[in-house]
């Protein structure tokens, strides 16, 4: 999810949030009565074929979406952009008036900050008699969101809200955005105000009463159901203008044979008591943001991850990747396999070429200060170290270095610290004047002894097992017992394997952007 900031007058915010129902999903009290009360049993052919498909527990639809908002006036300008994805998975069904409704379980992110909510309407979903129907949590209120039998129905909506006093109809069209480009039935207001239909228990509903300058379209495909949304609104006068646009598109569904090797996190899971239970093995993809409305983050103390140098690690193309905070034990001497790099000891210094025998790779998910200390007491070595990054063409950028005269000063340690933006960096060790092998310890950290956890997961082991945990794309994880009385491990993309007795455990993911969590046990 991305955000560029926002500033707008209260009136404009109010107007923008109201357009197309700032709270998500259509449906609700204004929906049509259940089909048993609204539509008599009709044995004739439906107006639109292909919408009498079967559902079952476990069926899913995954969508990606984006939302843009902007405001401009003579004094200020602001904008916001969001993008994410969510999945609807069908859970255990309930039967209401002979119809099986399946619980809709939402995972991922369907909310664009405090501006737009794409959460689907209703709590349950059913397909019956060529109609797609939602059922509210009260187990009573039903809403027809797509009527293939008649081809038209009172406004409702799945991803957004259509006015229930206006006639909407489905026409064959095409949905085209960054996520889907297919022929689909477009649901929009009937263009003619003379097009009226009578619905028992509702009354006569006509088209043409809905302001189409505020564009909203939902899209459906036979055999699949809802596949996308497009909305656009723009309002302005001589002094200001405000606009917003949203797109949703189906990217995968079990109804067309798709399978996905991962789950999406289920919000809210920012607090320990709301940890998402998972079954092993599991792969979960999440967004790793604070989400203050769900409780923000929890600071958890972490341990230094001890590691031994692993050869070969003599070039930036074959470095030893490290999770933070790291404590590495290694050794080096002049003549070991190495990579030559042209460097400068200071910005105005004379460039020279030297060799680096040991390379370590670290990745920062967010901008942080990286602290590095190398100690080699009891040796007669003069070791130097540099902090590099590489561009796409493998050009080297020097961010920091430590090149003391260790032998002359009789001080056998090197230190450097630098604030860095998110990215991948290399700590390289140079055996500058070290003719005999010298042992060293290398400590790399971000200067904090804690990690700000924004997502919690829990798992249980029925018996002792070895569990491997890895997080890619984020700042790392912590593993703790269920009572949070002890942090058992922490790490990142390189993973941690640990033997655990039977019991329940917590995994906390640090704040820092999109991530993938893998948890396995043989």
Average pLDDT across the chain, whole number: 86
Predicted local distance difference test score (pLDDT) of residue 212:
44
Cβ atoms of residues 488 and 495 within 8 Å: no
Question: Does residue 5 sit within a domain?
Answer: no
Establish how many alpha carbons lie within 13 A of residue 64's alpha carbon, considering only the half-sphere containing its beta carbon.
9
Question: Does residue 454 sit within a domain?
Answer: yes
Q: For residue 444, give both structure tokens.
A: 């790399």
Per-residue pLDDT averaged across 175-203, rounded?
82
Per-residue pLDDT averaged across 482-486, rounded?
87
| Cα 33 to Cα 326: distance, rounded to the nearest angstrom | 62
Cα dihedral 155, 157, 162, 166 in deg (nearest 10): -10
Question: Does residue 2 sit within a domain?
Answer: no
Predicted local distance difference test score (pLDDT) of residue 20:
40
Question: Does residue 184 sit within a domain?
Answer: yes
- Classify each residue of 271-285 as buried b or exposed e, where b means 16 or more C-beta atoms within 10 Å of its C-beta: ebeebbebeeebebb
Same domain for 436 and 422: yes
User: Does residue 475 register a pLDDT over 70?
Assistant: no
More confident residue, 12 or 286: 286
Same domain for 98 and 17: yes
More confident residue, 519 or 349: 519
Per-residue pLDDT averaged across 185-192, rounded?
78
Same domain for 216 and 99: yes
User: Does residue 32 register a pLDDT over 80?
Assistant: no
- Which of these three, 425, 445, 465, is where a domain ends? 445
Question: Does residue 3 sit within a domain?
Answer: no
* Highest mean pLDDT of the ranges 41-50, 62-71, 158-167: 62-71
Predicted local distance difference test score (pLDDT) of residue 198:
66
Establish how many alpha carbons lie within 13 A of residue 418's alpha carbon, considering only the half-sphere containing its beta carbon.
18
Task: Count structural domains, the chain.
Answer: 3
Same domain for 168 and 253: yes
Predicted local distance difference test score (pLDDT) of residue 5:
40
Q: What is the CATH number of the domain that holds 504?
A: 2.60.120.380
Domain with 283 in it: 272-300+450-520
Q: What is the pLDDT of residues 342-382, one digit of tens each?
A: 988 777 888 889 999 999 999 887 788 888 999 999 888 99
Q: What is the pLDDT of residues 232-280, one digit of tens each?
A: 988 888 888 999 999 999 999 999 999 999 999 988 898 899 999 999 9
Same domain for 334 and 372: yes
């Amino acid at each position: 999810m991305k955000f560029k900031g926002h500033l707008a007058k209260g009136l404009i915010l109010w107007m923008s949030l109201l357009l197309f129902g700032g709270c998500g999903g259509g449906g609700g009290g204004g929906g049509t009565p259940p089909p048993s009360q609204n539509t008599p049993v009709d044995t004739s052919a439906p107006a639109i074929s292909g919408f009498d498909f079967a559902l079952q527990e476990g069926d899913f639809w995954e969508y990606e979406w984006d939302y843009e908002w902007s405001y401009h006036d003579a004094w200020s300008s602001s904008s916001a952009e969001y993008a994410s994805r969510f999945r609807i998975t069908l859970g255990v069904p309930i039967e209401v008036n002979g119809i099986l409704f399946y619980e809709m379980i939402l995972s991922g992110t369907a909310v664009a900050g405090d501006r737009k909510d794409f959460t689907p309407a209703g709590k349950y979903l059913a397909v019956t008699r060529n109609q797609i129907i939602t059922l509210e949590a009260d187990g009573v209120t039903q809403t027809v969101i797509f009527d293939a039998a008649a081809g038209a129905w009172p406004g409702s909506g799945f991803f957004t809200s259509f006015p229930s006093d206006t006639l909407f109809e489905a026409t064959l069209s095409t949905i085209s955005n960054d996520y889907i480009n297919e022929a689909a039935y477009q649901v929009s207001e009937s263009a003619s105000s003379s097009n009226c239909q009578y619905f028992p228990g509702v009354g006569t509903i006509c088209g043409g009463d809905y302001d189409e300058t505020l564009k909203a379209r939902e899209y459906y495909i036979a055999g699949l159901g809802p596949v996308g949304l497009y909305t656009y609104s723009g309002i302005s006068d001589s002094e200001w203008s405000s606009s917003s646009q949203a797109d949703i598109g189906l990217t995968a569904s079990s109804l067309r044979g798709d399978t996905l090797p991962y789950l999406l996190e289920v919000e809210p899971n920012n607090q320990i008591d709301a940890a998402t239970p998972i079954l092993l093995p599991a792969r979960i993809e999440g967004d790793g943001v604070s989400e203050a409305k769900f409780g923000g983050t929890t600071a958890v103390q972490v341990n230094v991850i001890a590691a031994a140098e692993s050869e070969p690690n003599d070039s930036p193309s074959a470095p030893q990747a490290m999770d933070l905070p790291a404590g590495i034990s290694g050794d080096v001497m002049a003549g070991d396999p190495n990579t030559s790099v042209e460097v400068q000891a200071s910005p105005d210094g004379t460039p020279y070429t030297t060799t680096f025998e040991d390379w370590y790779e670290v990745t920062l998910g967010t901008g942080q200060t990286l602290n590095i200390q190398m100690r080699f007491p009891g040796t007669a070595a003069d070791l130097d170290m540099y902090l590099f990054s590489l561009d796409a063409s493998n050009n080297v950028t020097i961010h920091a270095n430590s090149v003391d005269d260790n032998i002359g000063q009789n001080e056998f340690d090197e230190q450097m610290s630098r604030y860095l933006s998110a990215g991948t960096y290399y700590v390289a060790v140079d055996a500058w004047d070290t003719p005999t092998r010298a042992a060293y310890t290398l400590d790399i950290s971000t200067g904090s002894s804690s990690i700000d956890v924004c997502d919690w997961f829990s798992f249980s082991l029925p018996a002792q097992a070895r569990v491997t945990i890895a997080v890619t794309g984020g700042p790392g994880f912590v593993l703790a017992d269920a009572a949070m009385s002890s942090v058992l491990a922490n790490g990142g993309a390189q993973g941690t394997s640990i033997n655990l007795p039977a019991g329940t455990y917590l995994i906390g993911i640090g704040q820092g952007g999109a991530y993938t969590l893998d948890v396995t046990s043989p």
